[in-house]
Amino acid sequence: MATLYPLKEVPSSIETLVRASLTGLKRPGKKLPEKGYTIQGLTIDKKQFKEYCEMFGFDNNTVPSTYWYVRLFSLRSLLLAHPDAPFPMPGLVHLYDSIRQYDKIYPSDQLDVTCKFGRLLQHDKGTAVEIVTALTRNGETVWEEVNVNLYMGKKGLGDAPVENPAIELTAPDTSAEWELGESLGWQYAKVSGDFNPIHLHTIGAKLFGFPKHLIHGWYSVNRAIAPVQEQLTAPHELFVSFKKPLYLPGKVVSRTQQTEEGLLFDVIDAKEGFPNLKGYIRKI
């Protein structure tokens, strides 16, 4: 069982950015520590939630399941930057997210948080790390997430293979083009707290092997599914798999397809035709 260390609040973005940068020289390990963090009585960040809703067009009556990824970004980062974590943070690749929400969550709710390591997973390009986060209200779990990041090159570890469900839109109901401006990474970083340099400027991106800076994957997720907020506040499962990066500036096509189970969605580079991400929302 993981040892959970209590925190009074979600750590600041600056604190976690500094800690993340200090892991750059860490030598890869072979085992995840049985450690994590807990916070009692967490609420939304009112300023952040207002800006988040304005950016994506959500109303503020209920909290979409996707908001908690943003609210808890620094907490997950703090865990990945733990001295006993097996891999350096610079260069980790976000592979996928799986979120399950069991009841509506309101802006006034006070929630208890746990955030801990899950499993190491096998991948053909390295080893992936699970971060498992849960929100409870009055002792009942209302939201939980498995966040998975890949460390390239360190193969032969892991308890199970990385999930890779086939997600294909055969008859899209909607299709929309977006323009992604050059400064969009900065705009989203100010809301999300994710100031990873690969998203902010070409110089920062080139330090990590990218030709240009790229938009945050979670920006694309929110923008793609914001029109179906009612599905993101009712009980549901949300899964999204990240494929190839989208560079700034750029243009994309966002598509959705309603099914009996819920919604399929993807985001495609309009020029090259490759997928940036694929996902689904299912009723539970």
262 — phi, psi (to 5°)?
160, -115
- Check whether domain 1-163 has CATH 3.10.129.10, yes or no: yes
pLDDT at 85 over 80: yes
β-bridge pairing 35-42 and 3-7? parallel
Prediction pTM value: 0.94
- Least confident interval from 16-25, 163-172, 174-183: 16-25
pLDDT at 147 over 90: yes
Instruction: Quote the CA–CA distance of 162 and 24 in Å, as a whole number.
Output: 24
Please compute the mean of the pLDDT values over residues 31-48 and round it to a whole number: 96
Report the run of H or E that residue 252 belongs to, with start and end: strand 250-258
Please compute the mean of the pLDDT values over residues 135-160 and round it to a whole number: 92
**What confidence tier does 53 reach under pLDDT thresholds 50, 70, 90?**
very high
Q: What's the pLDDT at 36?
A: 97
Question: 3-state class of 199 per DSSP?
Answer: helix
Q: What's the pLDDT at 164?
A: 83
Query: Residue 11 CB: number of other CB atoms within 10 A?
Result: 18
Report the run of H or E that residue 13 belongs to, with start and end: helix 13-21
**What confidence tier does 139 reach under pLDDT thresholds 50, 70, 90?**
very high
Instruction: Quote the CA–CA distance of 278 and 176 in Å, as a whole number.
Output: 15
Nearest to 169, CA basis, from 46, 63, 52, 268: 268
85 — phi, psi (to 5°)?
-65, 145
**Across 28-32, 79-83, 88-92, which has the greatest mean pLDDT?**
79-83
- Least confident interval from 24-33, 44-53, 146-155: 24-33
What whole-number percentage of the chain has pLDDT above 70?
Answer: 100
**What confidence tier does 13 reach under pLDDT thresholds 50, 70, 90?**
confident
Instruction: Quote the CA–CA distance of 140 and 134 in Å, as a whole number.
Output: 10
- At the top level of CATH, the class of 165-284 is alpha beta
**pLDDT digits over 22-35, tens only?**
888 788 888 899 99
For residue 193, give every residue at least 6 positions away whose Cβ sits within 8 Å of its Cβ, in sequence order, or none: 13, 48, 70, 73, 74
Report the run of H or E that residue 151 belongs to, with start and end: strand 140-152
Q: What's the pLDDT at 1?
A: 79
Q: What's the pLDDT at 148?
A: 97
Q: What's the pLDDT at 140?
A: 97
Please compute the mean of the pLDDT values over residues 109-134 and round it to a whole number: 96
**pLDDT digits over 230-256, tens only?**
999 999 999 999 999 999 999 999 999
pLDDT at 156 over 80: no
For residue 55, count CB atoms less than 10 angstroms from its CB and return exposed for 0-12, middle for 13-18, buried for 19 or more. middle
> Fold match between 1-163 and 165-284?
yes
Instruction: Quote the CA–CA distance of 266 and 257 in Å, as a whole number.
Output: 9
Please compute the mean of the pLDDT values over residues 188-214 and round it to a whole number: 92
What residue spans define the domains of the chain?
A: 1-163, 165-284
Amino acid identity of residue 219, one-letter, is Y
Query: What's the residue count for the chain?
Result: 284
CA pseudo-torsion sign 263, 113, 12, 52:
positive
